[in-house]
Copies of this chain bind each other. A is one copy, B any other.
Amino acid sequence: MTVTSVHDPSHREALWELEDAFERGDLVSLFGRCTVAYEGRAASDLGAGDRLLVLKPDGAALVHTDEGRQPVNWQPPGSEHHAAVREGRLRVRSTRNSPDETLTVRFSDVHQLSAMAVTGGRDLTLHGSEEDLRTRILERPDLVEQGFEPRETERPSSAGPMDIFGADADGTPVVVELKRRRVGPDAVGQLARYVRALREELGIEDPAEGGEAGPKRTDSPDVRGILVAPSVTDRAAERLADRGFDHVALDPTPEE
């Protein structure tokens, strides 16, 4: 529970505190005026300004301005922090390999530096995820459709694992794709890949080919695709119709 805190330190003082904090494995919060340079997957430069630098013992580094949920610059976990005084400025550098990337923060002024050992309590319980939606359906398959019978989750296919594989009341194979929120055309493409893969696997001809123009065919065994999501965009609905797939409106958690 030891918190280190220095106000308007000299660069030397800040350097000592930083090195001690790295040594102890502390979480560091540093206010100051700085420039930021990044080079790696991309490259960026940020002119002088007041910012908050957060340094984590796992190697993550975050540069925050007064706006936005996202840091303006950062370095992912697994990096290594190094501090030094160069050309009269405090330089904090985080580096990692594969991919090679470097974040360099140069402080002309350090206003405030705090560091604390942070332990325990990372056990977040989250509700309303796609997994919750799956659980809900497995407990009550009729929410998808009368007579729907789930057979397998994460069923492998040549196009990747499908969320739920099952059969409808007629025994026709059904691929169910789950989304926890409103979806666009990309989700339909995903479902289409799984359905296509399953058709191929089962030796079922694609109904879009075969006939010369008929957009749908119902007179032969087929594979059905069902997209379960709270709602879909217009373009997604079009593409669902094109493919002959169904949409079932369902939330990950029952609405109150």
By a beta-carbon cutoff of 8 Å, the part of chain A in contact with chain B is 1, 3, 5, 7-8, 25, 27, 29, 31, 41-52, 54, 56-58, 60, 62, 64-69, 72-74, 76-77, 109, 111-112, 114, 116-129, 159-160, 180-181, 185-186, 189-190, 193, 208-209, 235, 252-253
Contacts and interface: CB of A to CB of B under 8 A. Distances in A.
Given A50-B116, A62-B69, A67-B77, 9 more contacts: A27-B66, A29-B112, A42-B180, A44-B127, A49-B120, A49-B122, A56-B68, A60-B67, A69-B74
Contacts of A111: 1, 3, 116
Contacts of A129: 42
A158 B62 CA distance: 40
Contacts of A43: 126-128, 253
16 contacts: A1-B111, A3-B112, A5-B7, A5-B114, A29-B114, A42-B252, A43-B126, A46-B125, A49-B119, A49-B122, A52-B116, A52-B118, A65-B118, A72-B124, A186-B186, A186-B190
B49 A52 contact: no
Contacts of A5: 5, 7, 112, 114
B31 A29 contact: yes
Interchain residue pairs A-B with the least CB separation, the first 8:
A49-B121, A42-B128, A189-B189, A66-B118, A50-B118, A44-B126, A29-B29, A3-B111
Contact of A29 (B7, B8, B52, B117): B52
B114 A31 contact: yes
A118 B51 contact: yes
Nearest to A7: B5
A225 to B, nearest CB: 15
Contacts of A73: 124
